[in-house]
Amino acid sequence: MTTFFRLMLICQFTFMGYLGQAQVGIGTSLPDPSSALDISANNKGLLIPRLTTVERNAIASAANGLLIFNTDSDEFQYNSSNSTVPIWRALSLTGTSIASPGDSVKYSNTDVTTDVNPNTAITVPIFGNLLWNDNTTLYVVAGNQVTITEAGRYEFIINISLINVAAGARNAPEMRLSVNGTEIGSYGATGYMRSQNGHDESSLHLREVLELNANDVVSIGIQRAANGGVVNLRSAGSSTVYIEKKL
């Protein structure tokens, strides 16, 4: 056997052995036998892909266990879902935490008869149909309000579809969040209805982030800001509230 063929055989067996180990060493020629990837360094770190929330949500068919660094929330997140809909959870949790950033809840309305244009504010009857609740210990809904059991920063996205059922009235309900009965944050006040030439529908929209204490009770208040006259939620499922833990 010629020297050339001996070298070829040695290279072939060496390469096959490498494939059998399926290990990669960076900064080391002897990766740990238990690892698929072993990185050794004393003056550098590992840089995980950095994505915004929008970029993260655009990942197609995210694998269970996929890890990214979210630059919007400034934290590592991994996908804990085996389904086509990812559930992103943070790695920055303390041992006593009952919730993860990204835990969310969403409801839509079933009530289409309550007058949401009263003289005195009422709570919007929007917690009718549960669409999902990632953490039933964190979000406890009773009636038209939700108790949030862990302190943190929470985002609220509220969309209210309205219909005027009082002919001739110029209605304009407005809404605002309340925490423990005290109004807080910005107003949603875009729901003017002319009630002329078929202009009987409108909507209110509110997006707010609140810093909450454990067991704060949050509700959505609504009342008239213009003329009186009955206004209802437009149809079942047309009004929604979404809450997400951000921090």
Maximum mean pLDDT: which of 13-17, 51-55, 125-129: 125-129
CA angle 118, 209, 78 (to 5 degrees): 135
The first and second tokens of residue 186, run together, are 């910005």
Number of independent structural domains in the chain: 2
Residues 211 and 151 in one domain: yes
Residues 57 and 140 in one domain: no
In this predicted model, what pLDDT tens digit does every residue of 140-177 receive, in sequence order? 999 999 999 999 999 999 999 988 887 667 788 899 99
In this predicted model, what pLDDT tens digit does every residue of 25-36 receive, in sequence order? 788 878 878 778
- Residue found by looking up tokens 């909507």 in the block: 203
In this predicted model, what pLDDT tens digit does every residue of 224-234 receive, in sequence order? 877 777 889 99
The pTM of the full predicted model, rounded to 2 decimals, is 0.61
First to last CA, the chain: 69
Q: Which helix (H) or strand (E) holds 205?
A: strand 201-212
Q: Does residue 23 form part of some domain? A: no
What CATH number does the domain containing 134 carry?
A: 2.60.120.40
Is the Cβ–Cβ distance between 124 and 221 less than 8 Å?
A: yes
Q: Does residue 12 form part of some domain? A: no
**What is the residue range of 122's domain?**
104-245
Cα separation of 100 and 246, whole Å?
Answer: 8
Residues 122 and 85 in one domain: no
What is the average pLDDT score of the chain? 85
Strands 240-245, 152-164: pairing is antiparallel
Cα separation of 39 and 128, whole Å?
Answer: 52
